[in-house]
Amino acid sequence: ITSKLPAVGTTIFSVMSQLAAEHKAVNLGQGFPDYEPPQALREAVTRAMAEGRNQYAPGIGLAPLREAIARKTQRLYGHAVNPDTEVTVTSGATEAIFSAIAALVRQGDEVIVFDPAYDCYEPAIDLQGARAVHIPLTPPSFSIDWQRVRDAITPRTRMILVNSPHNPSGAVLSADDLDTLADLLRDTGIIVLSDEVYEHIVFDGAAHQSVLRHPELAARSVVVSSFGKTYHCTGWKVGYAVAPAALSHEFRKVHQYVTFCTFHPAQVAFAEFLDSHPEHYLELPAFYQAKRDRFRALLAPSRFKLLDVPGGYFQLVDYSAIRDEDDLAFCQWLVREGGVAAIPLTPFCATPPGTRLARLCFAKSDATMEQAVERLVRL
Ligand code: PMP
Ligand code: GLN
């Protein structure tokens, strides 16, 4: 058959996790924690099941959960949202991203994305008959060159996709970046899709600069987050989208036919847990900063050069002192010969980045981290 996505293969996350299993490598590739969600949260899910909350939830999400999300958004970002018209619970951030693009991007539109870009963005854009316009972020800072954005905007530009904290680099947007973005978009109809799944993982005392802090941007944005990242439960696939009523209205038209609703017992549990345990997300920066610092200290004697990590749970390492080859080849070698799975940046880029960088996930227990680093320092 004629493929609608001829350039798409199997995602690098599945490929590397399978190779990790085959080669009994320590898996620092695909981003997921190797520790459990909070016990009270797990108990709340099983309690919801025992209490018979096992049939369809409302398509847009349980009201108490949407209300809890609205309270959190107000508390953290000072932005009031209407839980009935502006918050939609989704089956992970992946579904929210797909539904937002499918609902809002039309054939022939252009969508600005920053490379390296999380791998689910472009296929969703391609499926609409739209075109991704790629703007590279350059190491070591991976910050946005706003002049390039200005130059890339055309009358066809429909959407700009931002991701902060950024996967894979950990770069974060500043308040100045948001001001510049707002200036650039003023007097245009461009929609912002803001992927903020790592919103609670920002380091060194910095505050997460959600586009929701910026009223002008909030008025034109769909903001996507994921409970998988915040509550150590990537396998539950629960996330949400916050957007003004008119955008949410269109978003929900697609969401209802992509999945209709999201896993009901987890929604019951999150509705309780968000309000009863705010310390979980408030303490997450310290929790992950300790992991980041430990991982970096363990890797210090290795021949990898460590890039700065302002947010998220990935460490980019420069391996050029170890091998002179592209990142796909290096990650293949590393999983086979080095016993550690990592993620190359090439699959996140429209054109090979030409860097000697690989991504390692530090959302890992001390034991896993030590086992991996023992192998990495030998290279
Ligand atoms: N966006 C980014 C930047 C991510 O890193 C991830 C998951 N790692 C997602 C979206 C998808 O989140 P979810 O698992 O909730 O679908
Ligand atoms: N988002 C995770 C990562 O960046 C992986 C999610 C997936 O496997 N699709 O590693």
* pLDDT value for 82: 98
**The domain boundary residue, chosen from 277, 298, 323:** 277
* pLDDT value for 95: 98
Residue 134, strand partner residues: 113
Cβ contacts of 121 within 8 Å, gap of 6 or more: 97, 101, 111, 113, 132, 161
Q: What are the strands of the beta sheet with 110-115, ordered from one edge?
A: 87-90, 239-242, 221-226, 191-195, 157-163, 110-115, 131-136
Residue 100, strand partner residues: none
* pLDDT value for 176: 98
What atom in ligand 1 is closest to the CA of residue 166?
A: 3
Cβ contacts of 26 within 8 Å, gap of 6 or more: 20, 339, 340, 341, 368, 371, 372, 375
Query: 156 pLDDT band (50/70/90 cuts)?
Result: very high
Which residue's alpha carbon is at the smallest distance from atom 9 of ligand 2? 13
Residue range 32-47: mean pLDDT, rounded: 98
Quick check: is 3 in a domain?
no
Provide the percentage of residues in the chain whose pLDDT is more than 70.
100
Q: Are residues 147 and 43 in the same domain?
A: yes
Provide the percentage of residues in the chain whose pLDDT is more than 90.
100
Query: 72, 69, 125: which is closest to 97 by C-alpha?
Result: 125
Query: 99 pLDDT band (50/70/90 cuts)?
Result: very high
**The domain boundary residue, chosen from 244, 277, 310:** 277
CATH of the domain at 248: 3.40.640.10
Which residue's alpha carbon is at the smallest distance from atom 3 of ligand 2? 31
Range of the domain at 350: 12-30+283-376
Domains in the chain, number = 2
Cα(93) to centroid of ligand 1, in Å?
6
For a ligand 1 pocket test, name from 226, 343, 359 the mutation site with the most ligand atoms within 8 angstroms of its C-beta.
226
Q: Are residues 51 and 19 in the same domain?
A: no
Rounded distance between C-alpha atoms, residue 181 and residue 195, angstroms: 15
Query: 327 pLDDT band (50/70/90 cuts)?
Result: very high
Quick check: is 5 in a domain?
no
Query: 312 pLDDT band (50/70/90 cuts)?
Result: very high
Q: Are residues 235 and 328 in the same domain?
A: no
Which residues does ligand 1 sit against, CB inside 6 Å? 31, 92-94, 118, 163, 167, 195, 197, 226, 228, 234, 237, 239
ipTM: 0.98
Q: Are residues 117 and 155 in the same domain?
A: yes
| Residue 378 burial (CB count, 10 A) | 10
Q: Hey, what are 368's tokens?
A: 């896993």
Residue range 166-185: mean pLDDT, rounded: 98
Which residue's alpha carbon is at the smallest distance from atom 5 of ligand 1? 167
Residue range 98-110: mean pLDDT, rounded: 98
Q: Are residues 153 and 230 in the same domain?
A: yes
**The domain boundary residue, chosen from 277, 300, 324:** 277
